[in-house]
Amino acid sequence: MRLSRRRFLFLVFAVALLHSSLRASATHLKPEVIGPLGQRLLEDAKAPEFFNWVRNIRRKIHEYPELGFQEYKTSEVIRAELDKLGVEYTWPVAETGVVATIGSGEQPFFALRADMDALPIQELVDWDHRSKIAGKMHACGHDSHVAMLLGAARLLQARRHELKGTVKLVFQPGEEGFAGAYHMLKHSALDNIKAAFALHVYPSYPVGVVASRPGPVLAGAGRFTATIKGTGGHAATPQLSKDPILAASMAVVALQQIVSRETDPLESRVVTIGYIIGGKADNVIPESVKIGGTYRSLSSQGLVDTKERIKQVIETQAGVHRCEAELDFMDETPLPYPVTENDEGLYEHAKTVAEIILGKPNMQVLPVTMGGEDFSFFTQKMPAVMFVIGSNNKTQTPPEHLHSPYFVIDEEALPIGAAFHAAVAISYLDRHGGGGVIERDEL
């Protein structure tokens, strides 16, 4: 279909107008208003009593890490602090989750989200507040996310009568592979949310820096296991067996070709095998072998295509070697996580807030990565945006990455995260709930 010149120019104008309106909605934030607001929030959060309080919460949670949908003690800590602050909440949501409410109780509803769960990792950091639970550790900073959101709760509760709408504080279980966000969003406590914001600690940036980008920022991510069944036998008579180790080995090699030989080099995908379990003796062919891995893509169709090819490759390789394969893609979880796509308008809003209260040099563009995040379920349902907050601890050079048994953070990031959460929420409600930015004598 060919477009007339007039229609083409109209479409170009419409797209430009939409883009400019998105930016205008962010620049509508007045530095003379947001600046004092942000500085007051930062001053309050960095006050010694507040900082010690939020740091102690983080350390308490860090000492007793809990895996997905098992965050009972963590949830208890959250509810106890909310009770002290006089903040109302709904619990349980999705087993262990908590949704707190601050503000007028009227629209717009703006959500701030923090995940709560830890990882099955043995902590190897030697410090006074290391994990007291063998084999479990907050190696992804979720303890810090909870502490920052409770810090935001305290800042917001002190200003609850000024809020031009309602803030929902979402303490979410089961981010690490359990799709906790999906299950929380099914609860009525999160009905009619207009927009959502989340922070994640990031050791690649120093304290005081935040970063994000509009559009796709994290990959969609799925997991799978495959059990390849054959016939066991003695290593001296392999002809009498159907060797699942051989079948599994060939499958692992063939899976790498999904990315290297079947995917456009300009399209980002990943297929990784994380483990192989099979056999206990060096002279015995086992009856079965189990492999497990992950697949990732920056497009929804890429996830669908990769999943289908993984199934075909493993089943075919098993058949070639006279074995059978049973695959589990954990669809009931549900997996895969979708691609995390930041809403452009909300990104511009939070970016402007960050530039005003932290300074333009401290607002950076985050590179797209192939990591996965179940906040993507929020980004699918409503305008939502995820930022990272610098947490680099100068004692580690280079810094340990997320999911490392040596992962640490600089706790000076906690009050910054609390204030940033609160500033984004207050300014959003001012714009959308009060007919524009509210002039304040003191914030």
Q: Does 176 count as an annotated binding residue?
A: yes
Strand partners, 231: 242
Give the helix/strand (H/E) hosting 211.
strand 210-212
For 239-277, write each residue's pLDDT tens digit: 999 999 999 999 999 999 999 999 999 999 999 999 999
Of the residues 328, 357, 385, which one is the last residue of a structural domain? Answer: 328
Cβ burial of 13 (10 Å; 0-12, 13-18, 19+) is exposed
Predicted pLDDT at 439: 37
255 and 403 fall within a common domain: no
DSSP helix/strand/coil, 71: coil
Residue 6 lies in a domain: no
Q: How many domains does the chain have?
A: 2
Say if residue 179 is in the same domain as residue 229.
Answer: no
- Do residues 324 and 389 share a domain? no
pLDDT at 441: 34
Domain of residue 289: give its range.
220-328
Of the candidates 90, 38, 104, which has an alpha carbon nearest to the alpha carbon of residue 432? 104
pLDDT tens profile 54-109: 999 999 999 999 999 999 999 999 999 999 999 999 999 999 999 999 999 999 99
pLDDT of residue 35: 80
Assess whether 129 and 77 both reside in one domain.
yes
Of 337, 320, 247, whose CA–CA distance to 288 is shortest? 247
Could you tell me if 47 and 171 lie in one domain? yes
Whose tokens are 């409503």? That residue is 382
Same domain assignment for residues 205 and 279: no
pLDDT of residue 433: 85
Is residue 401 annotated as involved in ligand binding? no
- 203 and 285 fall within a common domain: no
Sequence-distant (≥ 6) Cβ neighbours of residue 398 within 8 angstroms: none
With a cut of 70, list the residues of the chain below it in pLDDT. 1-30, 32-33, 434-443
**Residue 170: C-alpha distances to residues 70, 190, 196, 322, 347 (Å):** 17, 9, 10, 50, 19
Q: Which of 276, 293, 328 is the last residue of a domain?
A: 328
- 28 known member of a binding site: no
161 labeled part of a ligand binding site: no
Residue 231 and residue 360 in one domain: no
In a domain, 1, yes or no: no
- Any binding-site annotation on 140? yes
